[in-house]
Amino acid sequence: MLELLTSKTLVADGAIGTELLKRSNEKFPEILNFTNPQLVESLHIDYTNAGADIITTNSFGANPARLKSTKINIYELNKTSAQLARKVNLSNKLIFGSVGPSGLKPGDEEFKKLADYYFEQIRGLADGGVNAILIETMIFIEEMKIVCEVARNVTKLPLALSMSFHKTKNGFKTYAGVDLKIAVKEMLKLGAEIIGANCGNGFAEMVDIAKNFKSITKEIPVLVKPSAGTPRKINNDLIYPDTPETIPEFVRKLVDIGINIIGGCCGTTPEHIKVIRKIVDETAQK
């Protein structure tokens, strides 16, 4: 897999959670793996048809901290998410098992349970047949370290570590205040096969974040999955400013920077991924 990452730019899929929320009334989109698997499959198919090389499981918030009110089987939920992604998988597609943050802070009493929480999630994804574990949208170094350690103990699958940053007057930081350069160095220390950034405030900002990553390391494959900007609520609908029509110039810059995996996060759709696919293919032909 790593040889593939260094030989060409791969296209990842777009948002899973925000798209499933648009297509259903379910409060927790991960539960749709059990209650409406056909809907989850259809989204994976849409992203596959849009040209994604990498399909992400519907498991971002499938951990006990986020789903404690549901009393659901975490292991089976994650295993099913991987199986659903594999079910629609075509040849030469990669399945990344999504592991999102718990929503807990390092000072919380429940934070001490994180290793147990993530054990069931990652075990389920691995047993379901993913090709890599994607630990994404992290804002605390402490949590990222715990998840990474659990993943290394559970599986030999490659790890992708991705943190979420926003621009401040003192540069890019996570929403917990971790400086980007410190975050990248910590990711490298953890020995991840892929590092990167996701979510944040849109494609333009992600270009600057990507430049920062590449200025620190050129050896490790870098993944970026920007959100479609900061949404506004109009008539009870969330409207994202980064439409498929507005992103081409930023996608070209990401390709020029040398980013290895480009996809989308909150608010992005199969239409966004079609644009990314088109630009990546055009660049490869030059």
**pLDDT tens across 112-165, in order?**
999 999 999 999 999 999 999 999 999 999 999 999 999 999 999 999 999 999
**Residue range of the domain that includes 207:** 2-285
What's the mean per-residue pLDDT of the chain?
Answer: 95
Token digits for 116?
A: 């147990």
Query: Is 266 one of the annotated binding-site residues?
Result: yes
**pLDDT tens across 198-227, in order?**
998 899 999 999 999 999 998 899 999 999
Residue 7, pLDDT score:
66
Residue 207 sits in a domain whose CATH number is 3.20.20.330
**pLDDT tens across 238-271, in order?**
889 999 999 999 999 999 999 999 999 999 999 9
In this predicted structure, the answer to whether residue 2 has a pLDDT above a threshold of 60 is no
> 4 pLDDT band (50/70/90 cuts)?
low
Query: Is 148 one of the annotated binding-site residues?
Result: no
Total domains in the chain come to 1
pTM: 0.96
Residue 166, pLDDT score:
95
